[in-house]
Amino acid sequence: MTPRKRLIIIASAALLGLIALFAALKPWTDKAPEAANSVAIYDDALVMDLPLTAWSADEEARRNEIEVDAERGPILQVGDADPLLLTPTHPALKLSNWRVISDDSITQVVSDGMWNDAPAVARWHFTAHNPQAYFSLKISKFPVNQLRQNIALKLPFPEGALQLPSPAKGVEAQAAIWADDLGLERLSVSNWSGDAFQVAGQIPNSEEARELLLSLWPASAHLESETCADTLVLDLEMNFMLTIGAATPASVWPYADGSLAALTPIFGLPAEHSDPQIAEAAAPDARRWLLRAHTLVYGHSDPSDPRYGNGGLLGYDLGATIIVPAAFGEDPAIQDFAQKLDQTRVELAPAFDPTKPGDAYQGSSHVLRNTDCAQLSALAERRIPAAIITQSAPDEAAKRPVHQGPANWPLVVLPEGFDGRLQSLRLKGFDPSALGPLLEAHQTRVFSAPFVATRNPLIGAAHESLLHPERGGHWTVSTRLGGVMANLELWREESPIMVSSVAEMAQHRASIQQVKTWWRGPQQLQILNPMESTIQGFTLAIEGEWEASAKGSEGRLSRRVITGGKGRLNQPTTLIWWDLKPGLEQIDINPSITAARAQAKPGAPATVRWEITAP
């Protein structure tokens, strides 16, 4: 390309991104991209991180001018507002040598740089006639110890108002929308790959905001960043999509199958409980512990008993995590049981050194005493889905029981500890009166209660036993616990709450963290699942009340409308869920015939015309 040559293209809208740890998307093919081992530093060549396609040309499309500055990158002229520097900034990020690469309908604006001493590549991706632009920042060998600090990229906006519409109360906003002084929506940033959006630069005594903070990793909320060794590094990616013009926000919902909240019970170790009477209820050997675990899972310890399989956690379709004592973790029978449960909603989580080799608990969460970063790194290397931290957590971190880190980094879970009384487990853990507020706020609760079971009626823990002893060394679930499990099963028929193990929750969150979504045109959304496996019960949240369909979707798409969200104009939110297969899928969004008020078509962004000027 000759200097100062004008490239006229039509490009851009908003999409989901992800942080990639030890992973980066390869150029798109007709199959889902596979993970690379490290972040590549690219030369002047087009890199297709996403299968964004060109839109139809429109002579009436608004013209948007971008001038690429060699040192500052692309600068956008938005109407009569001041020019907008598109690339977010950070004190540690130094980018330069911006240049333009184009081929047919694709134009990319690329820069090499550094994040402190780590090599970095920034890339803007524009596609002809598509009003959506994709930005990615890839950092090679990012020092993990820098995660001890709050990391947030900063994106300034012209005068106007900046909104963070949430799909529902209690759910983080996945879009930031900037409107000009006349209230016209001009730009939106969507599906940031990091932790959250935040607004900074608020103008006193006004609703105007000047800066959007794209928070990657707030150290105060992520305990795993506290003890990271200086020698650990990772390959990191940060990305988002920028939309020109107005668009109906579409968000990835955090819960599967359109559930409105999540409950994750953990049955912990009596021997480590602070109450010595509870500690007396610990199983004396691996064989007897396994009998107890079978009972909690299936309702009885004897497979020949007719009650086996008709009660317990799986009998009532409840998920949970059962922690295996460290002394029993390598017992072959317990490992076989762990593998048997691998495809169910219940898991056995080992409490031993995560750096030890072994695949018996490959799909299970692991228990850590503290947030040692080397152990977390070992879990990440083995693709362990989650780490359950049993130490006491600072109050600020304990407000968030689940901490989502970079992709392929284990989910870090800080459970609320119960006092060991059966009544506490019943009333605080499983009773609908305690779970109702979770549904209203769309929250996740993770609790840990000691797995108390004893055959000795003379010790204090006998009154808190979850199991009832029977002849021949066998057990059945206590009447009090069995009753509350049955009640919860019935309540869930009308109250959609996920009850899962830590591993199931972590695997679902890790899967949806990889998903990307964007508008293909009026009433059409595209969703990309870049992995090789289907995401069961994938749920999309769209502002407003809509119907949805897809090719071959008869009976495949489900829908629920919720109210009381934090979106714009007090609109309801529609949840749409289905099993999302690998690759690219398109769904059509149409106005609902049952909506209380008439709705137009969903607000897909309009075609725009770019004029991009190279340095």
Among all chains, which residue has been given the structure tokens 């009596």? 270
Residue 36's pLDDT is 32
Tell me how far CA of residue 541 lies from CA of 74, 89, 474, 529, in angstroms. Answer: 32, 30, 47, 16
Q: Indicate if the alpha-carbon torsion angle 437, 438, 441, 447 is positive or negative.
A: positive
Residue 397's pLDDT is 53
Helix (H/G/I), strand (E/B), else coil: 401: coil
Residue 104's pLDDT is 82
Q: Indicate if the alpha-carbon torsion angle 258, 489, 450, 435 is positive or negative.
A: positive
The verdict on pTM exceeding 0.95 is no
**pLDDT for residue 362 is more than 90:** no
**pLDDT for residue 20 is more than 50:** no
Q: Which of 317, 132, 130, 327 is nearest to 240 (CA)?
A: 132
Contact 360, 335 (CB under 8 A): yes
Q: Which of 372, 374, 370, 320 is nearest to 349 (CA)?
A: 320
Residue 227's pLDDT is 58
Stated as kind and residue range, the H or E segment containing 288 is helix 286-298
d(CA 99, CA 580): 37
Surface-to-core class of residue 55, CB atoms within 10 Å of its CB (0-12 exposed, 13-18 middle, 19+ buried): buried
Beta-carbon contacts of residue 304 (< 8 Å; ≥ 6 apart): none
**pLDDT for residue 600 is more than 90:** no
d(CA 134, CA 15): 7
What average pLDDT does this structure show over 540-555? Answer: 82
Backbone angles phi, psi at 262, to 5 degrees: -140, 140
Helix (H/G/I), strand (E/B), else coil: 297: helix
d(CA 341, CA 441): 31
Contact 240, 18 (CB under 8 A): no
Length of the chain: 615
| Domains of the chain with bracketed CATH | 62-254+604-613 (2.70.98), 261-499 (no CATH), 509-597 (no CATH)
Residue type, 538: F
What average pLDDT does this structure show over 76-94? Answer: 86
Residue 10's pLDDT is 30
Mean pLDDT in the chain?
83
**pLDDT for residue 33 is more than 50:** no
Residue 15's pLDDT is 29
Residue 101's pLDDT is 94
- Percentage of residues in the chain with pLDDT exceeding 70? 82
Band of residue 1 on the pLDDT scale cut at 50, 70, 90: very low
Q: Tell me: the pLDDT tens digits for 366-414? A: 998 877 777 877 888 888 999 998 876 555 555 778 887 767 778 889 8
Most confident of 27-31, 90-94, 520-524: 90-94
Contact 541, 416 (CB under 8 A): no
Instruction: Please give the structure tokens belonging to residue 32.
Output: 């889902």
Residue 103's pLDDT is 86
Residue 7's pLDDT is 37
- Interstrand relation of 233-244 and 185-190 (parallel, antiparallel or unpaired): antiparallel
Surface-to-core class of residue 549, CB atoms within 10 Å of its CB (0-12 exposed, 13-18 middle, 19+ buried): middle
Beta-carbon contacts of residue 96 (< 8 Å; ≥ 6 apart): 70, 71, 111, 112, 113
Residue 21's pLDDT is 30
Planar angle of CA 246, 251, 257, nearest 5 degrees: 145
Residue 26's pLDDT is 30
Q: Which segment of 87-91, 216-220, 303-307, 442-446 scores lowest on mean pLDDT?
A: 216-220
Band of residue 555 on the pLDDT scale cut at 50, 70, 90: low
Residue 326, Cα to own-chain centre: how many angstroms? 30
Higher pLDDT among residues 321 and 543, named by residue: 321
Helix (H/G/I), strand (E/B), else coil: 44: coil
**pLDDT for residue 358 is more than 80:** no
Residue 360's pLDDT is 76
